[in-house]
Structure 1
Amino acid sequence: MPGSPLPRRMMATTAASVMCATVLTGTAQAATALTVAADGSGDHTTIQAAVAAATSGTVITIKAGTYQGQVQIPASKSGITLQGATGVSADVVITGSTPASTAGTAGSATVHNLAPNSTIKGLTMQNTYGKGSQALALYAAGDRQVYRNVQMKGYQDTFLSWGGTGAKQIRQYVYKSYISGAVDFIYGNGALVIDSTTIESLDTGSTSNNGYITAAATDDSNPYGILITRSVLKSSAAARTVALGRCWHAGGAADAIGQVLVRDSTLGGHIRQAGAWQDMSGFSWRTCRFSEYANTGAGATTGTADRPQMTASTAANHTAQRYLAGADGWNPVP
C-alpha cells in the first residue's frame, strides 16, 4: 500500500542516416535528434546516456530492443521526447526489477520522469519485481506530460503521478495505452487523465480480493484528481474481486481527499458490485471524492449506495479538458 509522506506508493527522425542533427533557423535552434540502439548503430547504446546528452526539446528515438536499468529524466530536460522507433510499444522495452523496500519509491521506478512538457510514446516501461513491495514502472513528477501508445506494467504501484505535498498540482495525459498491476497501481495526487486505455488488473489467485486499481491522494483544494475515461477495465481474476480504488491519505494527511472519476468506460465482471471503493489505513472511502458516470459492462452498476454516480450536470465539468486545463489552458486531448 502507499507509504507515508513521500509516496510509495517530433521531430521524429524518419531517415536512419540522421542520428544526431541540430538545425538552425535564423537565430532559433531546433531540437536535437538522438538515436539509441543497443547494438551500437545509434548515437548511444543506453537511453540514460542519450538523456544526459540531450538538451531541452531533444527527440530521442529508441530502436527495438530491451533496455535494462533505470532511466532518470531531470526537470532540466523540458520538452524532451522519448519514442520507440517502430511505433509498436512492445518492440522497445525499458525494464527493471527494483523494489522500493531497498531503493525507496523513486529509486524503484524504472522510468523517473521529472521533465515538464515531455512526451513518451511507442514503448513499454515495466518493473518485474512482483509481490512484496511497491515497485514502480513509472514515476511521473513533471507538469504537462503526455504518454501515448505506451505500456506500463507492474504489480504494486505501477504508475505514480506525484507533484509533492501541498496544493501544487502536476498534470499528465495518458492516451491509447495499457496499464497493468494488482495493488494501487494507478495512484498519486496529480491531475491525471487516462483516456482510451486498457487497464488490466492482474489475477492474484484470490477468490475474494484481487486488489485495487487506484489510490488517489488529491489535495482537498484541487477539484480534479484521477480521471479514467473512454477506457476498458479488464481482468482474468474472479468475478467481483477487484476494487476501483481506495482512499489514500498520504502520510496520514487530513487534506489528502482523493478524487477519482471513472466515466464512459467498459467495466469487466472482475469489478466489485458492492465495495468497489475501499477504506484505507483507517480512513473511510467516504472521506474521498469517488464517483462514476455512464459506464457499461458486467462490472458497471447504478443500483448500490456505495457506487456513487455523478450527475450529468456535474459530469459536464469533469471532462479530460477540464482536468488538464489548469491556469494556462493546456489541452493535449485529440
Structure 2
Amino acid sequence: MTPGSTFALRRRLLRASIASPALLLAPPLLAGEGSPAGTFDAVVGHTPFDGIPIFASVAAAIAAAPITGGKPFRILVTRGRWHEKLVVDKPDIHLVGEDRTASVLTFDAAAGMARPDGEPWGTWGCASVTVRAPGFRATNLTIENAFDYVGNLAAPKFEPIGPNGAQAVALMLDAGSDRAMFERVDVIGHQDTLFVDAGRSFFRDCRISGSVDFIFGGGNALFEQCELHSRFRPGKERQGYVAVPCTPSAQPYGLTFVRCRLTRDAAIPDDSVALGRAWRPGRTFPDGKYGDPDAVGAAVYLDCWMDAQVDGRGWDEMGYTARDGKRVMLQPGDARLFEHASSGPGAYRSASRRTLPRDRIAAYARERVLDGWVPI
C-alpha cells in the first residue's frame, strides 16, 4: 500500500467513526458510547475533517468546550504521544482515543521537580491529567506519567519519601471531580500512578500499572474487571503496595475492586507486594500539622485473582506523624481493609488478611457503592 493510499484509508476510517464510533473503537462495555448520536465535537490531530474543528493539542480542544456543560463534549484523540500537562476544569468532557495504546496523554513531572515558578510540583500538582469538574469520561486511550522512576532509583535526584520526592502521578481526580468514568484506559506510572482523591469514579476494563502506592486517595472509586499491574523496582525487597486509601471516616466506600486481576512484571519475586496500606496524610490544623485522624482508609477486594507477588500477610502498616509529633505506625486492623473470595497463587490467608463478613457483601453492589449514579 502506498503512503497516499494509507493516508486516505485512515482518513476514511476516522470519518466513519464520526458516524459510528463502533467502526473504529472496540465494542463498548457501557451503553451510550457507540450510539448513532455519538458524534465528535472536536478532533486532536493533524488531518482536516469536514465540519469538525481540529486542534493541535488536547488542551486546545478542551478550551473550546462550553464552560456550562450540560451535554457531553466529545473529543477524538488520534494516534500520537500528546505531551501536555492537562487540567480538565469544564464539565462533561469526553476523551475518546483512536487507539488504546497509541493515543497517549503523557507528561513527566515528579513531585520534586520544579514548576515554572521554581517551587516543587508536589504530589498534588504533578499529575499528567488532573480532573476538577464533574462528568469527565475517557475511553480507549492511555494516560501516563513518563518520569524515569527507575533511573532515579539508580541515581537519586529526589528524596525517596516526603511530599516532594519521586512521586509521579499520571491521573488525579481532584476536588470538583464526580461521576468520572474510564473504560479501556491504561494508566501508567510507578509511584503514585492513580490519585483518586475526590468524588465518585468508575473504572472498567482498565489497566493501572505502578509500584509504590499506585492506586491511592480519599475518593470513592469502583474498579470492575481491571488489571492492577505491579512494576519491578530494582534492588527493593518490598516491591510495592497496590491500594492505599485515606478515606474519610464518614465515607462508607473508598477503593473497591471487583473481579480484578493483580499481575506483575516477570522480575518481581513472590511475596513482595502488599495488597495495600492505609494512609493518614499530614494536614494543617489549628494546633499544628499532623496525620489526619479522620482518615480511616477503606479498601476492599471482591472476587479478585492474585498472582504470587501478593504477600501472604496481605496488608502493611504505614507511618504518620501524630498530634504530639511522634512517628506512629497505622496498623491494617485500625483501618477498613478487607477481601472476599480471592483466588490465585497470591490468595493466601493469615490473621492480618481480614475477610469481608458475608452480611456486608450485598452492600458492595455497584448501585450502592456509586450512591445511585448509573454509569452510561
Which residue does the alignment assign to 2:105? 94
- Spell out structure 1 runs of 4+ moving beyond 6 A: none
Q: Does 1:279 align with 2:315?
A: no
Per-residue Cα deviation, 1:195-223 (whole angstroms, up to 9, x for no partner): 10111011113463101111100000111
Percent of paired sites with the same residue: 28
Do the aligned partners of 1:277 and 1:290 also contact (CA within 8 Å) in 2? no
Structure 2: distance between partners of 1:62 and 1:301? 42
| Cα displacement string for residues 11-53 of structure 1 (whole angstroms, at most 9, x for unaligned residues) | xx854789xxxxxxxxxxx997111104666610100000001
**What is the deviation of 1:178?**
0.4
Q: Which has the larger radius of gyration?
A: 2
Contact 2:134–2:178 (8 Å) recurs in 1: yes
Q: Deviations over 1:213-268 (max 9, x none)?
A: 11100000111111011111011310000001111011100010000001111000
Cα deviations by residue, 1:79-119 (Å, 9 ceiling, x for unpaired): 1101112xx31020111111111322343111111120111
Work out the CA distance in 1 between the residues paired with 2:219 and 2:230. 21
Counterpart residue type for residue 305 of structure 2: T
TM-score (norm 1): 0.84
Q: Residue in 2 aligned with 1:240?
A: 271
Q: Which has the higher contact order (CA 8 A, sep 6+)?
A: 1
CA distance in 2, matches of 1:279, 1:100: 20
Q: Which residue of 1 aligns with 2:193?
A: 158
AA in 2 matched with 1:81: H
- Within the candidate set 336, 350, 366, 1:289 is matched to 336
Task: Give the distance between the partners of 1:331 and 1:322, measured in 2 at CA.
Answer: 10
Contact 2:195 2:215 in 1 (8 A): yes
Structural mapping, 1:1-334, within 5 Å: 15=16, 33-38=41-46, 43-55=54-66, 56=69, 57-74=72-89, 77-85=90-98, 88-102=99-113, 103-131=121-149, 132=158, 133-141=166-174, 142-163=177-198, 170-206=199-235, 208-235=237-264, 236=266, 237-251=268-282, 252-281=291-320, 282=328, 283-302=330-349, 304-325=350-371, 329-332=372-375
Unaligned runs of 5+ residues in structure 1 are 1-12, 19-29, 164-169
CA distance in 1, matches of 2:276, 2:193: 14
Alpha-carbon distance in structure 2 between the residues aligned to 1:43 and 1:140: 27
Following TM superposition, by how much is the alpha carbon of 1:287 offset from its aligned partner in structure 2, in angstroms?
1.6
CA displacement at 1:319 relative to structure 2: 2.7
Q: Which amino acid aligns with 1:83?
A: V
Query: Could you tell me how far apart the structure 1 residues matched to 2:185 and 2:316 are?
Result: 27
- Distance in 1, Cα, partners of 2:251 & 2:18: 47
Q: Please tell me whether the aligned partners of residues 190 and 209 of structure 2 are also in contact (alpha carbons under 8 angstroms).
A: yes
Describe the SS at the equivalent of 1:317: helix
Amino acid at match of 2:373: W
Report the Cα distance in structure 1 between the residues aligned to 2:62 and 2:364, rounded to whole angstroms.
35
- Normalising by structure 2, report the TM-score: 0.75
Q: Distance in 1 between matches of 2:334 and 2:363?
A: 21
Q: CA RMSD in A?
A: 2.0
Unpaired stretches in structure 2, ≥5 consecutive residues: 1-13, 20-37, 114-120, 150-157, 159-165, 283-290, 321-327
- For 1:67 and 1:38, locate their aligned partners in 2 and report how far apart those are by CA, in whole Å: 12
Contact 2:18/2:40 (<8 A) preserved: no
* Partner in structure 1 of residue 162 of structure 2: none
**How many residues were matched structurally?**
296
The 8 Å contact of residues 117 and 145 in structure 1, kept in 2 or not, is answered as yes
Q: 1:38, 1:72 → 2: CA distance? A: 22
